[in-house]
Structure 1
Amino acid sequence: MTEPTAPAPIDAAAPTAAASAARPPRRRVIQAAALTAGALALPLAGTAGNAVAAGGAQFLHGVASGDPLPDGILLWTRVTPVAAATPGSGLGPDTAVQWQLATDRAFTAIAASGTVTTTAATDHTVKADVRGLKPDTAYWYRFLAGDAVSPVGRTRTAPAADAAVDRLRLGVASCANWEAGYFSAYRHLAARGDLDVFLFLGDYIYEYASGAYGTRGTVVRPHAPANEIITLADYRTRHGRYKTDADLQALHAAVPTIAIWDDHEFANDAWSGGAENHTPGTEGDWSARVAAAKQAYFEWMPVRPSIAGTTYRRLRYGKLADLHLLDLRSFRSQQAGIGNGDVDSADRTLTGRAQLDWLKAGLAASDTTWRLVGNEVMISPVAFLALPDYLLRPLAQLLGLPGEGLAVNVDQWDGYTHDRRELLGHLKDRHITNTVFLTGDIHSAWACEVPFEAATYPASRQRRHRVRGHLGQLRQHRRHPEGRPADAVAGGHRRDPGRQPARQVDRPGLARLRRPRPSTAERAQMDYYVLSDRTKPDATTKWARSYRTKSGTQQIERVYTPVN
């Protein structure tokens, strides 16, 4: 699912020389998300130690960039120094890898370069956090090891923090189950040529054994390793298998990535002390499994570790939007049972106290037109027992039921209503508008308004729309629009039928959130696309529906054409 809400900045550094390149032409091929904004950049350079010659080296897993800042960008690749040094093997010599960043594709104008020595201790992955770049500038990058030259990637820094930015386009995806089908959506995103960022909202990999999840008995292409991943070697091997996908490689090479994790990067329905899909008796200590999963994630993803090694952090696109990225797995309490009134307890948390305070402070301090929140699980209420609040709460208290209705899925914000009420109350009391939650996880496409009084949500004027029988949309009108955020949930590029509440949402989709050409940041729009057949590598894509929220309205409305 995908939801829009407030973003914030990341630390930026002074830009350095690097000629600005023109934006690529806007080509309409398929989905993506766009909201008026600019671009970002990152920094750093490593130095080589005693590395062996890399004559037989290869770059088999593509290249990527991520977490753009006004003065920097994070560059990533993985080198295979010898044939035996496969992901997770622990084999292979220390290898010196040079990285180059240029203002032209021919690399005649090098803006920055450096050398990193990578070893088996980091699974021969390479990261260069490059700083001192110019804001809102296109760069090309590549890696060299011995005679081997990597594919060329293209990236772009973010605009300066005080820049007047007229648009931001995000390609949004989540929930990528390798075995359930091909990543054709990534190919279509890469072909657009008009995206500022690829935003991934969790479940980049799945941890299950081959055939154990979401395949309907048909494994389109098998996992590696075939077993459920538990050890560091397992997680590295699974990440490595994903990075061999040609469409995924093309997307990472075409546009910078901003990513957060959800549960399947660890294990299904993960919480701070365990997971539904983790059995300590046979699968070992949970903390050891989490440490292995996080290490592999930060090795293999173009992501900067932020606060305490988590993924919650802020990025900014000029005066247009800031992006708050959440980690809703590392600090959460264990999920309560459906129908259990404990979901309302102030002693239980989804975010953790420190992260919730950080988010509230960032939203309150934001000076951008839009506040975007990268959110793993759905914040819009999806519950039964829809009664007016003054009736439901006393009845729930009498019967020991949740005060905001019986949640369909207690793994999302419905299972942690105290955190949700505190956050939404903060938006309402501070009159913080233009907040959009961009959400993954739900394997379906939604566009919602998020009511402060969740208990009245289904009982109020509710509409449900189907997009060609596959995409659902819920709308809720409240009497107090101030502080009410919009909730746009975009179906990921891959959809797994195993967890769908209804058949009509079982279809892969792509999402696009964007603003119009005028320089005034007047709207945020999400365009929904679907794939023709996830089991075919040459699947086509088709626009399905679009919804927007105009600046200051706190309401969503349907529109009948995607952003061009």
Structure 2
Amino acid sequence: MGPVPHTHPRRDALKLGAIAGVALLTAPALPAFAATPRFRHGVASGDPLPDAVVLWTRVTPTDDALPGSGLGPTVTVAHEVAEDAAFTRVVSTGSTTTGPDRDHTVKLDVTGLQPGRHYFYRFTLDGERSPVGRTKTAPATTATVPGLRFGVVSCSNWQSGRFAAYRHLAERDDLDAVVHLGDYLYEYGPGEFGSGRPHEPAREVLSLADYRVRHAQYKTDPELQQLHAAYPWVITIDDHEVANDAWSGGAENHTEGAEGSYAARRAAAMQAYREWMPVRTGPDGRIYRRLRFGTLAELTMLDLRTYRSQQVGTDIGRADDPDRSIAGADQLAFLRDGLVASDARWKLVGNPVMFSPVLIPALPQAIGRPLAELIGVPADGVPINVDQWDGYQYDRRVLIDALARNNVQNTVFLTGDIHTSWAFEVPFDAALYPITRRTVATELVVPSVTSDNIDELTGAPPRTVSLAAEAALTTLNRHLKWVELDSHGYSVLDVTADRVRMDWYFLADRSRADSAATLARTFTVAAGTQRLR
């Protein structure tokens, strides 16, 4: 379908909901958002449970208490949670101590809330109040939920553009949460992988102080602040939260020795991440987790960098080695067993890198080299992207076999990382598809918020040379139903008992915070079919 102007999200939402036979409740209005001197990094919430939600802010108690500085006093920050934006019906209060040891961040898990409810929250320091945030708890575990709607985003590089995609999602009033699939920030120095507004600090980030400063910079973005304040986020990491093409013992963008030890760098990056992000982690710092939204959906968020084996590079014969893993044994079992045992109608998987098999066709060098650079394969050609599940085929086969053997229905992978838009039917055997047309899942891949795509990497006008690559990809990969390699934006996932629908919205200009967005494509998966329509 051609692009459709996206002019009124609330009206569109109500119309689409009526078509689906679902009564969609709009969110209560959020007061106008404006950061304040002591709360200059905004507020955020995340990981909603039926009775709890994570709340976050960062305070600047004195002028010298800047992110990463290690300076400033220990202070006590109060918080309030209410049923209304005027805070006349307060349901929870408390206080938290913070200081330079945690970079003056505040993160708390507020419990005792009611399921499926909107709440408003704010913080106070020395009489100064933060902006008001709005959040929402998950429905009760056994509740029959008529519908859910999630914003879905990935790959938001500060240096590559403005975060208009976040603004468009924040201006909607029909979402339950925002799912971020990784690459929330980038580790590069100014001018590396993006030439727009420069990164701070003015170097590649390596130390704990560096990562704290980089997180702080991203959270000064007004569009990012607006979306954090509007909805709870469910987030996972990909590689750039630490370094490009990370694996358990290193990364492509890390030089051991010259840049210190990778273990120390990763520890610093993850400490800053836990401090600055509204994410609920396990006692061992584990990020992979599962959230349930009534009987309608269960969302499993994966961490595919912390436990993975090193990428095979050009030695693709080792891509199916059973001794190599992308998820690690414990996480793979967590995912497999959870999908098999789940009684939720839809099993959603927040999946940082592409799950479906992809063969890379022969292409002219002008586009073949940029495509190879984007997806991480040598320019002279290999048939798989070894940084994705294609490079860890044993893990993928274990999961596919489990889904097929147990007749697990309605599994949908939600994927980021690759900066472009794709829609797959996940075949049981890609070589036989579509002869048998046996599928075990579907996969919906969202574009980048800003990070470079094929048109930027080639320097060609959008929708010119990429067309040949898209045609070649869909011809060679018959389970691939659609691919678009140029556009930036966001997606909205709409879930009912009868179907899952993904809408892709593309930005007119990623360099502009006020960029328009158009509804560019929609795919629907009817329950029980594992087919894209």
Instruction: Provide the TM-score with structure 2 as the length reference.
Output: 0.84
Q: Deviations over 1:446-502 (max 9, x none)?
A: 11111122345xxx5xxxxxxxxxxxxxxxx362536x1000001132231379697
Give the corresponding residue for 2:10. 26
Structure 1 stretches lacking a partner, 5+ long = 1-24, 40-55, 387-404, 461-476, 558-564
8 A Cα contact 2:316 2:391, kept in partner: no
Aligned counterpart, 1:254:
230
When residues 478 and 523 of structure 1 are mapped into structure 2, their CA distance, relative to the original with a 3 A threshold, is farther
- 1:48-87 alignment runs, 5 A limit: 58-87=38-67
Residues 407-431 of structure 1, C-alpha deviations (whole Å, 9 max, x = no match): 3421000000010011011100110
Q: What residue number does 2:208 align with?
A: 232
Q: Secondary structure at the match of 1:83?
A: coil
1:254-294 superposed Cα distances (whole Å, 9 cap, x missing partner): 00000000000000000000000000121001110010000
Gap change, CA 1:526 and 1:500, over 3 Å in 2: farther
Matched, 1:349 2:325: yes
Does 2:171 correspond to 1:180? Answer: no
Cα distance change of structure 1 residues 138 and 174 upon mapping to structure 2, 3 Å threshold: same
Give how far 1:105 is off.
0.5
Give 1:164's aligned residue: 144
Structure 1 residues 27, 147: CA separation in 2 closer, same or farther (over 3 Å shift)? farther
On the 8 A contact 1:500/1:506 being kept in 2, the answer is: no
Give yes or no for the alignment of 1:120 onto 2:77: no
> Relative to 1, partners in 2 of residues 1:159 and 1:381: Cα closer, same or farther, differing over 3 Å?
same
Check whether the contact 1:446–1:489 (CA below 8 A) recurs between aligned residues: yes
Closer, same or farther in 2 for the Cα pair 1:361/1:29, shift >3 Å?
Answer: closer
Kindly provide the CA deviation profile for residues 322-346 of structure 1, in whole angstroms up to 9, marking residues without a partner as x: 0111010010000002352011100
Q: 1:347–1:455: structure 2 CA closer, same or farther, 3 Å change rule?
A: farther
SS at match of 2:171: helix
Structure 2 CA distance, aligned partners of 1:104 and 1:435?
36
Is 1:210 aligned to residue 186 of structure 2?
no
SS at match of 1:268: coil
Q: Deviations over 1:294-337 (max 9, x none)?
A: 00001000001126212100000000000111010010000002
2: CA distance between counterparts of 1:37 and 1:370? 19
Asked whether the equivalents of residues 427 and 437 of structure 2 are also in contact (C-alpha less than 8 Å), the reply is no
Cα distance change, pair 494–146 in 1 and its aligned pair in 2 (3 A) = same
CA contact (8 A) 1:339 1:406 kept: no
Distance 2:73 2:266 in 1: 27
How far, CA to CA, are the matches of 2:37 and 2:191 in structure 1? Answer: 33
Q: 1:99 to 1:478 in 2, by over 3 A?
A: farther
Correspondence for 1:105 among 85, 92, 96: 85
| Aligned pair partner of 1:479 in 433, 436, 455 | 436
Evaluate the alpha carbon distance shift between residue 478 and residue 91 of structure 1 in structure 2; reply closer, same or farther with a 3 A threshold: farther
Structure 1 partner of 2:241:
265
Measured in 1, the distance between the counterparts of 2:390 and 2:99 equals 44
1:439 and 1:489 in contact (8 A); partners too: yes
Q: In structure 1, what is the Cα distance between the partners aligned to 2:23 and 2:324?
A: 36
Question: Which deviations, in whole Å up to 9, do the C-alpha atoms of 1:360-386 show, x marking residues without a partner?
Answer: 111111001000000000001111489
Distance (whole Å) between structure 2 residues aligned to residue 121 and residue 545 of structure 1: 46
* Contact 2:81/2:119 (<8 A) preserved: yes
CA distance 1:199–1:270, change in 2 (3 Å): same
1:320 matched residue in structure 2: 296
TM superposition shift of 1:509: 1.8
Give deviations 1:377-399, integer Å, cap 9, x for gaps. 0001111489xxxxxxxxxxxxx
Name the SS for the 1:280 alignment partner: coil
Task: Please tell me whether residue 544 in structure 1 is matched to residue 501 in structure 2.
Answer: no
SS at match of 1:407: coil
Of 413, 429, 438, which residue of structure 2 is paired with 1:453?
429
Q: Which amino acid aligns with 2:99?
A: T
* 1:140 maps to 2:120: yes
Counterparts of 2:43 and 2:419, CA distance in 1: 27
| 1:68 to partner: Cα distance | 0.2
Q: Distance in 2 between matches of 1:108 and 1:199?
A: 30
**Do the aligned partners of 1:29 and 1:188 also contact (CA within 8 Å) in 2?**
no
Q: Identify the residue that residue 253 of structure 2 maps to in structure 1.
A: 277
1:36-47 maps to which residues of 2 (within 5 A)?
none
**Aligned counterpart for 1:491 among listed residues 429, 437, 447:** 447
What secondary structure sits across from 1:142 in the alignment?
Answer: strand
Counterpart for residue 154 of structure 1:
134
Is the CA contact (8 Å cut-off) linking 1:38 and 1:196 kept in structure 2? no
> How far apart are 1:37 and its partner, in Å?
12
Partner SS state of residue 113, structure 1:
strand
**1:230 aligns to what SS in structure 2?**
coil
The match for 1:508 is 488
1:180 Cα deviation from its structure 2 partner: 0.5
Give the partner amino acid of 1:115.
Answer: S
CA contact (8 A) 2:361 2:383 kept: no
Q: Which residue of 1 aligns with 2:479?
A: none
- SS of the aligned residue for 1:374 comes to strand
Q: Is the 8 A contact 2:47 2:278 kept in 1?
A: yes
Measured after TM superposition, the shift of residue 119 of structure 1 is 0.6
Kindly indicate whether the alpha-carbon contact (under 8 Å) linking 1:495 and 1:506 is maintained by their aligned counterparts in 2. Answer: no
Aligned match of 2:265: 289
Q: How many residues align?
A: 469
- Hey, what does 1:529 align to over in structure 2? 505
SS in 1 for 2:284: helix
Gaps in structure 2 of 5+ consecutive residues: 1-8, 26-35, 363-380, 459-464, 468-484
Percent pairwise identity: 52
- Structure 1 residues 128 and 107: CA distance shift in structure 2, 3 A: same
Residue pair 2:320, 2:391 contacting (<8 A) in 1 also: yes
Quote the offset at 1:503 in angstroms.
Answer: 4.2
Equivalent-residue separation in structure 2 for 1:497 and 1:178 (angstroms): 15
| 1:200 aligns with one of 160, 177, 180 | 180
* Structure 2: distance between partners of 1:307 and 1:123: 20
Q: Displacement, 1:57?
A: 6.5
In 1, Cα distance between equivalents of 2:351 and 2:23? 19
1:376-387 mapped onto 2 (5 Å cutoff) = 376-384=352-360
Contact 2:13 2:174 (8 Å CA) reproduced: no
Could you tell me whether the CA contact under 8 Å between 1:511 and 1:527 is conserved in 2?
Answer: yes
SS in 1 for 2:257: helix
Distance in 1 between residues matched to 2:507 and 2:487, nearest whole Å: 7
Note if contact 1:310-1:330 (Cα within 8 Å) is conserved in structure 2.
Answer: no
Give the Å deviation of 1:29: 8.8
Distance in 2 between residues matched to 1:122 and 1:244, nearest whole Å: 18
